[in-house]
């Protein structure tokens, strides 16, 4: 089924495509830089999910109904409370902090896109992506909190 996009939808989808491409690259690059094996695994998993978002947006820009199913990528990362060795790893903390900030920004952008989508298919896809971005933020926060990088007082 072909979907029709408004000029505004096409514009924010093009912006989203750029953001998702940056997210994929950041997560892949940071997975290589991370010192903790658990964090490398989390970054790699999220990179795959960000690629899925990129693919969803690309499908809509081509007028196609997007495939929202994650397949293998939807598996939640298992965050263990492994506090040894990475408790004060400043390098990993910087990577996590940057990615958490990125997720906050991207999620906020999708919030606006949801409200400005005239096409219900586009709105549903934007809601799907936004929920994933919020989950990514939660996973990063949980990792940081469990490793002494983000203390809630």
Q: Cα separation of 70 and 89, whole Å?
A: 32
The reply to whether 70 falls in a domain is: yes
List pLDDT tens digits, range 110-143. Answer: 999 999 999 999 999 999 999 999 999 999 999 9
Q: How many CB atoms lie within 10 A of CB 96?
A: 24
Beta pairing partners, 80: none
pTM of the shown model = 0.86
**Domain CATH code at residue 97:** 1.20.1260.10
Q: Compute CA 107 distance to the chain's CA centroid, rounded to the nearest angstrom.
A: 8
Count of domains for the chain: 1
Q: Cα separation of 99 and 64, whole Å?
A: 30
Q: Which residues form the domain of 126? A: 7-74+86-146
Tokens encoding 75: 């598996």
**3-state DSSP assignment of residue 76:** coil
The reply to whether 129 falls in a domain is: yes
């Amino acid at each position: 089924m072909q979907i029709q996009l408004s000029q505004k939808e096409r514009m924010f989808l093009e912006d989203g495509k750029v953001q998702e491409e940056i997210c994929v690259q950041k997560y892949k690059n940071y997975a290589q830089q991370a010192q903790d094996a658990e964090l490398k695994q989390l970054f790699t998993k999220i990179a795959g999910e960000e690629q899925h978002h990129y693919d969803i947006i690309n499908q809509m820009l081509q007028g196609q109904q997007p495939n929202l199913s994650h397949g293998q990528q939807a598996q939640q990362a298992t965050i263990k409370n492994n506090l040894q060795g990475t408790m004060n790893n400043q390098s990993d903390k910087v990577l996590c902090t940057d990615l958490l900030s990125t997720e906050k920004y991207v999620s906020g952008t999708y919030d606006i896109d949801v409200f400005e989508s005239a096409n219900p298919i586009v709105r549903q896809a934007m809601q799907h992506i936004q929920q994933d971005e919020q989950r990514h933020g939660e996973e990063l926060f949980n990792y940081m909190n469990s490793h002494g990088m983000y203390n809630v007082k």
